[in-house]
Structure 1
Amino acid sequence: MADWQEIPGGVTAPKGYQAAGITAGLKPSGAPDLALIYSEVDAIAAGVFTTSQVRAACVDYCRQRLQAKLSARAILCNAGQANAGTGEQGWRDALESAELLAQALKIPADTVLVASTGVIGQRIKMDAMRSGIPALVEAASSTGSDQASQAIITTDLVTKAIALETHLPVRSTAAKESRPVRIGGIAKGSGMIHPNMATMLAFVTCDASVAPHLWQQMVSRAAERSFNQITVDGDTSTNDSLIALANGQSRTPAITEMGPEAERLEAMLTAVCIHLAKAIARDGEGATCLVEVQVSGAPDDVSARKVARTIAGSSLVKSAIFGRDPNWGRIAAAAGRADVPFDQDELQIKLGDFLLMDRGQPLAFDRAAASDYLKQAAQGVYLQGDTVAIAVKIGAGPGQGTAWGCDLSYDYVRINAEYTT
């Protein structure tokens, strides 16, 4: 059983944070499009970003900021324009955006991190940014997480948010005393989703006190087990950013090295990231269900996660799920091309409760019932909600890994064919 509980509040659930989301006129639709997350004190900052060689200005900006200074006070995010492939002027726009927010908040410019999402090749509408920032700062509050989560989305159908709370001991007291520690997060993402990372933005806040190097390690490991284990369409973006702040306002003892408190905090951080990652996969463009692939029996966890990602990302597997076709051959083929050695005579495949293959041999199963299982997943009527569960065992090794994706529908093509038009 998890050593934490879910609480309301998103990124403003941890102590010492405010957030806001407004309509600044960046999106043609008139939907909310400018978001702020603000720590009332200096916070330790960590980030994980896209591995693409074509990167948005905000990605390079944040990387440079975090290399020079491992702390931050604010995150500014605009939706509507990716500000990627926009050259030197796009870089200047990112710098100006950070400086404008810093002036409005009366904080140093190098404590502002920025993120953008939208159409590649389009610069930020700076007139709207300049007029919007004062209103954004004015709207910031300790209950503003929902507004911020709404303002960062693009093709998403739903917002994504979570907050968890645990208790860490206060070692300076003789009695067994503990204090609450909270981690909150919001995210956006629906299409152009694939490991390393995806068209996704995720912002995490925490009120624990953590050493900078340790916080970065925790965030990186959490990303590997969550955002780098989701796929919708096999495309990686120019703008992916996971930014995490830890401001120490829980007043719990500083965590400077791995130990029980650090492990508990990292586990909760990973749980927050997995929740947001699954929400992104579930909201995949045109998707009708979430697909969860669990792989066991691998030589190590890294290998297991690689096989799981390959299966979850297979267009043939995804298409079969949309067609409610329990075609286990596509699952086997995807596992086989994951570049992880295993003995095919040890391969086992399950779809929900249906055992389709065991020890490399196909088994008789009720195809109509298995198809109905997939139909029910799309309708969310069975115990696991809208999740199609695929379990694959490739041997007797200790490695385990999970990946999440979604089915591939006709609507995915329609949504992306019309994206800029």
Structure 2
Amino acid sequence: MTMSTSTNSIKKLSSKNIVSPKGFKAAGLHCGLKHKKKDLALLVSEVPASVAGVFTTNAVQAAPLKVTKEVVYTTKKMQAMIVNSGNANACTGKQGLQDAQTMQTLAAEKLGIAANLVGVCSTGVIGEIMKMEPIIDGIQKLEPKDNLESAIDFAQAILTTDTVMKNTSYSTTVDGKEVIIAGVAKGSGMIEPNMATMLGFITTDAKIEADVLQATLADITNLTFNAITVDGDTSTNDTVVVLANGLAGNDTLTPEHPDWHHFYYTLKTVAEDLAKMIAKDGEGATKLIEVEVEGAISDEEARKIAKSVVGSPLVKTAVFGCDANWGRIIAAVGYSGAVVDPDKITIQIGGATMVENGEPVPFSEDELIQLLKMHEVKIYVSLGIGEGKGHAWGCDLTYDYVQINASYRS
């Protein structure tokens, strides 16, 4: 499958795994934090890679974030990431920080690299002290490899309430050389920018300096990971990290590079894929909801409206119940805080117009019910007051969401 822009084509790879770029290896296994499922993972680059990261805006931040931020913002190089699921190591005080640092040190010793080249991520239950014995034993057993099986082991080991793995990869051309960008993520509940209860790991063999990569990731995050919502909660552990090891052999990428748009669009596509997979796999979800907004006074205003609509519990439950209640949509537009003119608003669901220039339009209830029964439901809103455009993604709100979260610790 080839996706084109006016300036470049990128190729979606059939082998969607985190070790697709040159020089990356991965591993995952069950160490004992969870009852049966894999719960410990390791991602490694052959050489120190330029690194960029974005993290939760929650004022309460887990110990692993403090360790990883130090690597991202101070070392600006990363060669490995050790990850566990089953315990978030959040709100665990001095012991939690010590445990995160122990994970960093043990992974570094295992690989024979400096500790300040190792990031740490944890996901799971908040407020429980980490069981370190299985972690210590598990790190020694991790054997990273560059094959599909090992990449799948990694993708499985980072999951919590997810129902599916989330992997994607694309290739593009920079300086006549193939550059691959791949991503893997977890996230299913407590998903609300900025950011979500999510972990995202993106690898590339492109050559790019850390500061440029950081600015690029921050920009792309606003268009992708910060445009999804499941339930309005923001977690303590949210992390997206990009590692770029330069083994593709291209000249150093900057916004002035003639092939910069190739790299930027490919990275954005990887991030958008992962974001949509997370939204679609929301806890108990049966449908992906996409909201497209046009005609706002700015792109930022359009994104604000799109997130307001897709995050509305009333909109989400209407989609779940196949209720063509456009009043809930226009209400969410109105309380978004963005500038709107009610007399210029147009609303469509699945291509069927329900409101045009602020006036109700007759529509077939049966037709709308069939559109709302689809696994992917698109809501379109036109403001008619500017050129701003924006998207957001989310999911329906179901009975299962309550059941899953009512028994998360049991």
TM-score by length of 2: 0.96
Give the C-alpha shift of residue 9 in structure 1: 4.1
Q: Following the alignment from structure 1 to structure 2, what is the Cα–Cα distance between the partners of residues 84 and 220?
A: 24
1:12 aligns with 2:19: yes
Please list every run of 5 or more consecutive structure 1 residues that lacks an aligned counterpart in the other structure: 170-177, 378-385
Contact 1:9 1:145 in 2 (8 A): no
SS of structure 1 residue aligned to 2:229:
coil
1:129 aligns with 2:127: no
Contact 1:83 1:121 in 2 (8 A): yes
Q: What does residue range 38-187 of structure 1 map to in structure 2 within 5 Å?
A: 38-136=44-142, 138-143=143-148, 144-169=150-175, 178-187=176-185
Contact 2:42 2:144 in 1 (8 A): no
Q: Following the alignment from structure 2 to structure 1, what is the Cα–Cα distance between the partners of residues 340 and 367?
A: 30
Contact 1:17 1:142 in 2 (8 A): no
SS of structure 1 residue aligned to 2:259:
helix
Q: What is the RMSD of the two structures over their aligned residues, measured on CA atoms?
A: 1.0
Match for 2:409 among 398, 417, 420?
Answer: 420
1:315 aligns with 2:281: no
Per the alignment, residue 383 of structure 2 pairs with 394
Q: Following the alignment from structure 2 to structure 1, what is the Cα–Cα distance between the partners of residues 129 and 244?
A: 31
Per the alignment, residue 30 of structure 2 pairs with 23
SS of structure 2 residue aligned to 1:397:
coil
Contact 2:190 2:234 in 1 (8 A): yes
Q: Following the alignment from structure 2 to structure 1, what is the Cα–Cα distance between the partners of residues 184 and 162?
A: 13
SS of structure 2 residue aligned to 1:146:
helix
Please list every run of 5 or more consecutive structure 2 residues that lacks an aligned counterpart in the other structure: none
SS of structure 2 residue aligned to 1:11:
coil
Per the alignment, residue 207 of structure 2 pairs with 209
Identity of aligned residues (%): 45
Q: Following the alignment from structure 1 to structure 2, what is the Cα–Cα distance between the partners of residues 351 and 260?
A: 40
1:361–1:259 distance in 2 versus 1, CA, 3 Å: farther
Per the alignment, residue 282 of structure 1 pairs with 280
- Answer with 200-209 or 212-221: which moved more: 212-221
Per the alignment, residue 229 of structure 2 pairs with 231
Q: Following the alignment from structure 1 to structure 2, what is the Cα–Cα distance between the partners of residues 311 and 285?
A: 19
Per the alignment, residue 330 of structure 2 pairs with 332
Contact 2:173 2:262 in 1 (8 A): no
SS of structure 1 residue aligned to 2:60:
coil
Contact 2:288 2:396 in 1 (8 A): yes
Per the alignment, residue 293 of structure 2 pairs with 295
Contact 2:155 2:184 in 1 (8 A): yes
Contact 1:11 1:186 in 2 (8 A): yes
Give the C-alpha shift of residue 257 in structure 1: 3.5
What amino acid is aligned across from residue 412 of structure 1 in structure 2?
Y
Q: What does residue range 334-373 of structure 1 map to in structure 2 within 5 Å?
A: 334-373=332-371
1:406 aligns with 2:395: yes
- Answer with 253-262 or 216-225: which moved more: 253-262
SS of structure 2 residue aligned to 1:278:
helix
Give the C-alpha shift of residue 206 in structure 1: 0.6
SS of structure 1 residue aligned to 2:201:
strand
What amino acid is aligned across from residue 304 of structure 2 in structure 1?
K
Q: Deviations over 1:341-374 (max 9, x none)?
A: 1111010000002100000011110012101211
SS of structure 2 residue aligned to 1:12:
coil
Q: Following the alignment from structure 1 to structure 2, what is the Cα–Cα distance between the partners of residues 85 and 367?
A: 49
Contact 1:304 1:400 in 2 (8 A): yes
TM-score by length of 1: 0.94
Per the alignment, residue 382 of structure 1 pairs with none
Q: Following the alignment from structure 1 to structure 2, what is the Cα–Cα distance between the partners of residues 191 and 284?
A: 6
Match for 1:269 among 260, 267, 270?
Answer: 267
Per the alignment, residue 249 of structure 1 pairs with 247
Give the C-alpha shift of residue 67 in structure 1: 2.0
Q: Following the alignment from structure 2 to structure 1, what is the Cα–Cα distance between the partners of residues 212 and 127?
A: 36
Q: Following the alignment from structure 2 to structure 1, what is the Cα–Cα distance between the partners of residues 269 and 84?
A: 26
Q: Deviations over 1:148-200 (max 9, x none)?
A: 0010000000000001001112xxxxxxxx11000000000000001100110
Q: Following the alignment from structure 2 to structure 1, what is the Cα–Cα distance between the partners of residues 111 and 128?
A: 27
Contact 2:290 2:377 in 1 (8 A): yes
SS of structure 2 residue aligned to 1:419:
coil
Q: Following the alignment from structure 2 to structure 1, what is the Cα–Cα distance between the partners of residues 109 and 140?
A: 10
Give the C-alpha shift of residue 420 in structure 1: 0.8
Q: Following the alignment from structure 2 to structure 1, what is the Cα–Cα distance between the partners of residues 255 and 333?
A: 37
Q: Following the alignment from structure 1 to structure 2, what is the Cα–Cα distance between the partners of residues 258 and 115?
A: 33
Q: Which runs of 4+ in 1 moved over 6 A?
A: none
What amino acid is aligned across from residue 76 of structure 1 in structure 2?
I
Per the alignment, residue 172 of structure 1 pairs with none
